[in-house]
Amino acid sequence: MCENPLMLDAPRFPLRIIHVMNGLGIAGMEVGVAKLVNRQDPARFAPLLCCLEFASDDARGLVDPKIPIVVLGKRTGIDPTIVSKLVRLFRRERPHIVHSHNWATFLYTVVAAKLTRVPVLIHGEHGYEDHRAVMRRLGAKQFLARQVTRLTTVSSHLERLLIERWNVPPERVTFIPNGIDLDRFPVNGDSQSLRREFGLAPEHRVITSIGRFVPVKDFPMLIRAFASVFAQHPESRLLLVGSGDREDLVCLADVLGVRDAVLFPGSRLDVPALLALTDIYVNSSRIEGMSNTILEAMAAARPVVATDAGGNSELVREAENGFLVPPGDDSALAARVQQLLESSAMRSAMGRAGRRIVERHHSITRTVDAYNNMYLESTIRRRLRGAQPAPQAVRRAAARALRYSGLTWIRGATERSSLTILAYHRVLALQESLLYPFQSMVMPRDLFEQQMSHLRQHYTMLTLLEAVERLRTRNLPPRSVCVTFDDGYRDNFDVALPILKKYGVPATFFVVTGVMEGKSRLLWDEVVSRIREIKDTRGWEEMHRETMPSWLQEKLGLLEAGEPAETIGERLVRDMNRVPLREREEALQILRRATPGGGKCSDPPLVSWDELREIRRAGMLVGAHTVSHPFLDELDHPAAKQEIEGSITTLAERLDEPITLFSYPRGRFKEEVKRWLQEAGVEAAVTTELGRNSPGTDPYALRRFDAGYCRIHAGPDTVLLDVEIQGWFQPLREGYIPS
């Protein structure tokens, strides 16, 4: 999207971020931090790497020379002087954010950050520790976790650990998977020079594993498994890449009679080339966070056999891009490797599948964006809390008065069961949400996560189909809530879906099929894009010759006078929603003639069909929202039926299942539309009419509550959410229809 001139409530200078690590070496966490800081925009972020113990020359070479690296020289064991050194560093650099990584840095960083009043403190966990160490340190970790702003993990396995064992509220833990630079891993990379270097013949099949030679990697188990493989496939070779003491591994290979078939090239930086000569990648770890080397093997389109340890199961999908085996089970590992050696077609198919997974979920751009969004979100939300508009403060105060008076408890205890259907459109990172022109349609990510966490704990979350059936049978559980999304924006997939999955909240996604397929545009986004172009090109000068509605002429005058394009676009859309179809089309054609390029700024992307299928596989429901998002009450019968039936038919064909749910664009429809929906096999339809639904409610006119009412600068507010869901403020909004 083009740069939006709306003011962003963020620092006017780069965010100063200090990353605290135990050491900087060639290892997964350290390499991940290096990739992050190298790719951050220096106009927005000013990172500094602080290493408690050391920074190796090889690892320094991975970091952009412009990024400072500070080594504190920590002594072995507990070193109290590190706190004072960190305090001096924090006072000198005055960071906006300090981000510590893994247990070794946690205590030192928290104490120093508290002493220097660092505004935002984040702690990241990158690898799973031995169970005995976890239990020994558990009390300290629980205490320290309460002192930080947010915690991050690289796998959902670690995320669950922090929630279940460290007792961290789920909404304070952010799971950001590791990312890979796909350009470094061509699918058919050149491997001939390395084959010559390692003395590999064309017929040799290479099994590779990369990692430090430490007990947790369990390379002895891998060598034992390879001995079994070699007995059946003497053309196989095992490539063990990494640093550390390899003497015991060499002795074991010698004892098992495979010393000449096991290669130890040492620590290397040419991982893409190593993977290009690899036929099968193996991870034998007993404990794992999220393996960068597995991701790199997948990026290089290589099949993976890995132990079912830690986050490995989040990367290796059984029989799709590889196989999982129990940790320590060399027989199972050998059997899976042999299975792959015996089928080049299986190796190719699994390799391609792995590459697709990385492209979709683990690109380095996606990972860096996630960290950047988290840093900005943490900083901006802190500033917004101090600038709360008066109407929001009044609503929050009224909500608390209702709660503490006992009225909300009385209503909850005495009223009959009813169903609240929450309506969402977009979910964006906080800083992006502030820039979207249609504020009523967007929910900041942090608020959305808090809402889902609260709903999961305190309400009965139902699928929309289940809720409709329970309304029909008058068997609705107390505090019933459904979650719905309209329009099908891609952020529903990228941002909202992971949060829904994290909390186990079902949702229904209503999509506009014609816009998904690029055959039409959503009116509001198209108008804003075209207004931006008119402002950039001073297109109003040509438009003065046009005959146009007075309300359009008035808005163009304000644009010419210097009003922001986004503000004018939002006001225009409100006007267009109120006028008859012919007048709206006339105004839209005027804007289109003035912007033959279609608007310089692209519209926000919608989900693809593959992403929609993944939404379905996640257990969510999908419903129709017409072909082009018209107001159905304005169309003649054939046009209205085509919009309904066309969207339902397309979805049914693409998803290979019946479509039984429908959402009326802007809630507008004629009574006869209900009959058409029934004929098309639809079981329920939602409106934008504000309110809750009681048993006996017409299933083709279900009321909803716009979740945007709970969007406030102060951040998550569960008291306000509860009061809004109970409908206390509804009488103040009677007749309101959200844009």
pLDDT at 5: 37
Contacts of 349 (CB under 8 A, 6+ apart): none
Q: Both tokens of residue 194?
A: 């390395």
Contacts of 17 (CB under 8 A, 6+ apart): 45, 46, 47, 48, 95, 96, 97, 98, 99, 375
Question: Are 563 and 667 found together in one domain?
Answer: no
Does some domain include residue 390? no
Residues of the chain with pLDDT under 50: 1-9, 735-739
Secondary structure (H, E, C), 654-674: HHCCCCCEEECHHHCCCHHHH
Whether the Cβ atoms of residue 252 and residue 218 lie closer than 8 Å to each other: no
Does some domain include residue 643? yes
Whether the Cβ atoms of residue 399 and residue 720 lie closer than 8 Å to each other: yes
Q: Rounded to whole angstroms, how far apart are CA atoms 717 and 452? A: 12
Q: Rounded to whole angstroms, how far apart are CA atoms 100 and 78? A: 17
CA dihedral 592, 597, 600, 602 (to 10 degrees): 80
pLDDT at 188: 77
Does some domain include residue 243? yes
Q: Which helix (H) or strand (E) holds 335?
A: helix 330-341
Task: Pinpoint the alpha helices (H) of 199-311.
Answer: 219-232, 247-255, 271-276, 292-299
Question: Are 189 and 269 found together in one domain?
Answer: yes
Final residue before a domain boundary, out of 340, 362, 384:
362
Question: Are 19 and 43 found together in one domain?
Answer: yes
Q: Both tokens of residue 98?
A: 């300090």
Residue 356: CB atoms within 10 A of its CB come to: 15
Contacts of 658 (CB under 8 A, 6+ apart): 652, 681
Does some domain include residue 368? no
Q: Residue 498, SS3?
A: helix
Q: Both tokens of residue 619?
A: 């257990």
Q: Rounded to whole angstroms, how far apart are CA atoms 290 and 707? A: 35
- Closest of 24, 124, 110, 12 to residue 67, by C-alpha: 24
Question: Are 622 and 501 found together in one domain?
Answer: yes
Question: Are 307 and 332 found together in one domain?
Answer: yes
Q: Both tokens of residue 605?
A: 């992307």
Angle in degrees, 0-180, between the axes of helices 390-405 and 407-414, rounded to the nearest 10 = 60
Does some domain include residue 571? yes
Does some domain include residue 371? no
pLDDT at 133: 61
Q: Rounded to whole angstroms, how far apart are CA atoms 385 and 399? A: 17
Please, which residues bridge with residue 419 across strands?
480, 693
pLDDT at 134: 63
Whether the Cβ atoms of residue 244 and residue 212 lie closer than 8 Å to each other: yes
Task: Pinpoint the alpha helices (H) of 27-155.
Answer: 28-39, 57-60, 81-93, 103-116, 131-145
Question: Are 111 and 124 found together in one domain?
Answer: yes
SS3 content of the chain, % helix, strand, coil (to 5): 50, 15, 35
Q: Both tokens of residue 58?
A: 């090889």
Residue 297: CB atoms within 10 A of its CB come to: 35
Task: Pinpoint the alpha helices (H) of 443-539.
Answer: 445-458, 464-472, 490-491, 497-503, 513-516, 523-537
Question: Are 357 and 459 found together in one domain?
Answer: no
Q: Rounded to whole angstroms, how far apart are CA atoms 333 and 280? A: 12
Final residue before a domain boundary, out of 142, 175, 208:
175
pLDDT at 7: 42
Does some domain include residue 264? yes
Q: Residue 240, SS3?
A: strand
Query: What does pTM read for this prediction?
Result: 0.84
Q: Which helix (H) or strand (E) holds 87?
A: helix 81-93
Does some domain include residue 401? no
Range of the domain at 357: 182-362
Question: Are 34 and 102 found together in one domain?
Answer: yes
Intra-chain end-to-end CA distance of the chain, in Å: 21
Q: Identify the DSSP state of 155.
A: S
pLDDT at 308: 95
Q: Residue 521, SS3?
A: coil
Number of domains into which the chain is organized = 4
CATH code of the domain in which 647 resides: 3.20.20.370
What does the pLDDT look like over 392-448, one tens digit per residue? 888 888 888 998 898 888 887 777 789 999 999 999 999 999 999 999 899 999 999
Look-up of token digits 């290397």? 268
Final residue before a domain boundary, out of 362, 383, 409:
362
Question: Are 299 and 333 found together in one domain?
Answer: yes
Question: Are 215 and 269 found together in one domain?
Answer: yes
Question: Are 445 and 343 found together in one domain?
Answer: no
CA dihedral 501, 507, 513, 517 (to 10 degrees): -10
Q: Rounded to whole angstroms, how far apart are CA atoms 621 and 663? A: 13
Give exposure, 539-548, as e/b (b: 16+ Cβ within 10 Å).
Answer: bbeebeeeeb
Question: Are 170 and 260 found together in one domain?
Answer: no
CATH code of the domain in which 105 resides: 3.40.50.2000
